Chains A and B, each alone.
Chain A
Amino acid sequence: DTGVSQNPRHKITKRGQNVTFRCDPISEHNRLYWYRQTLGQGPEFLTYFQNEAQLEKSRLLSDRFSAERPKGSFSTLEIQRTEQGDSAMYLCASSPGQGITGELFFGEGSRLTVL
């Protein structure tokens, strides 16, 4: 049983470049979540999907951020024109949905450093 997988684990980029992160959820999990965590803070909700539908987006998700889950399986989070304030750990989580459990299963995260 594989858990939530994220890659790359660490990305260093220069300001203004675009970056993309990928998340593979636990198979058969319908819901997929993206969170962001900065130093000294707890994870902050960004967006979530029910299958391929993006159902909620946080106001933290500026128009430079876009997330997709095209076939209801893996998801990508793209950040365009990165800024130093985007430096953070980007966490993906999945759940079976449908009220089965209130627990989210997290991946190990993708750390972004913007120089």
Chain B
Amino acid sequence: DQQVKQNSPSLSVQEGRISILNCDYTNSMFDYFLWYKKYPAEGPTFLISISSIKDKNEDGRFTVFLNKSAKHLSLHIVPSQPGDSAVYFCAASEFSRGNEKLTFGTGTRLTIIP
């Protein structure tokens, strides 16, 4: 039972253009959402998060949008840079209940083409 889904295993984007990564979830108890970035042979590193009380959070080139009614979130990267090439994981938790345990999606491999 995949509670967090990333339906695009891979995405290629030209340098300088916008990258949009999508994520869907099924558990309505999730109230905190995060994006992690992972390079080969390294652990995931935190990128950006959003609480369910918001619909948008922005940090530099990264913006996360949350649509609670659709149970959908997306990560926008603009402009995309070669160093953004990595695997991106969407994750969710029931944080307001004191539960930080993260449930991850299967990841999207982003390749930025110079």
For B45, the chain A residues whose CB sits under 8 A away are 106
| Complex: A83 Cα to B89 Cα, angstroms | 27
B 94-113 to A, binary, CB cutoff 8 A, 1 in contact else 0: 01001011111111000000
* 9 A-B residue pairings within 8 Å (CB atoms): A31-B100, A40-B9, A40-B106, A44-B104, A99-B95, A102-B95, A106-B36, A108-B43, A109-B42
Chain A residues near B (Cβ < 8 Å): 4, 6, 31, 33, 40-45, 48, 56, 91, 93, 95, 97, 99, 102-109, 111
| Complex: A31 Cα to B93 Cα, angstroms | 15
Q: What 16 additional pairs, Cβ within 8 angstroms, besides A91-B44, A104-B102, A106-B45?
A: A4-B43, A6-B43, A33-B101, A40-B9, A42-B105, A43-B102, A45-B101, A48-B101, A91-B43, A97-B100, A102-B32, A102-B95, A102-B100, A104-B46, A106-B36, A108-B42
Cβ of A102 and Cβ of B34 under 8 Å apart? yes
